[in-house]
Amino acid sequence: MCGVKKVGVFWGLALAGFLTIILLAGSAGAAEKMPDFSEKNIVGDGVVKSEDFAGKVILVNFWATWCPPCRKEIPALIRIHDKYKDQGFSVIGVSMDEGGRRVVEKFVEKLKINYPVFIGDAKLGRGFGGVMGIPVTFLVDREGNLAKRLDGYISEKVLEKQLQLLLK
């Protein structure tokens, strides 16, 4: 009786593994889309809506005012935004600050951030595949697919190189 049970468990596990492989193989070529969002813009007036960036290459940077590597990246993000904005590109800053809008507004004004910024939440982070730490940057291609994830501080040179691959 024990031998029959072991054989049944073996084949059950083998079948489950086989089905998992088939499901993963079928989804391997599917591109993950950027999640939809619509949030109040901290830079100027209006709303930052994902649909407004259709057809553009986007760099989405999750950051916070209290994060030293995040603060170090922002001047480079400003320069990159200025350099490539006429080529169908935009930076979007997603602040993960919990101190409220006024904290982020002061910071944005102080650094003269010129790209859209809004306050994000855990749900949006999950939509991008998970934001476990900051800074984290996502590059989105013109079709709205998440093309690249860059965790931690990323130099301007590396950001620009990755961006140029998508702008071609």
| pLDDT level of residue 100 (50, 70, 90 thresholds) | confident
pTM assigned to the model? 0.81
Going from N- to C-terminal start, the domains of the chain cover: 1-29, 38-167
The per-residue pLDDT for 30 is 54
The per-residue pLDDT for 99 is 86
Structure tokens belonging to residue 164: 């140029």
The per-residue pLDDT for 2 is 40
Rounded distance, CA 167 to CA 5, Å?
58
Structure tokens belonging to residue 110: 């102080």
The per-residue pLDDT for 136 is 97
Q: Tell me which CATH code domain 38-167 carries.
A: 3.40.30.10
The per-residue pLDDT for 3 is 38
pLDDT tens profile 117-126: 999 999 999 9
Rounded distance, CA 58 to CA 145, Å?
10
pLDDT tens profile 56-97: 999 999 999 999 999 999 999 999 999 999 999 999 999 999
Spatial contact of 111 and 80, defined as CB atoms under 8 Å apart? no
Rounded distance, CA 73 to CA 65, Å?
11
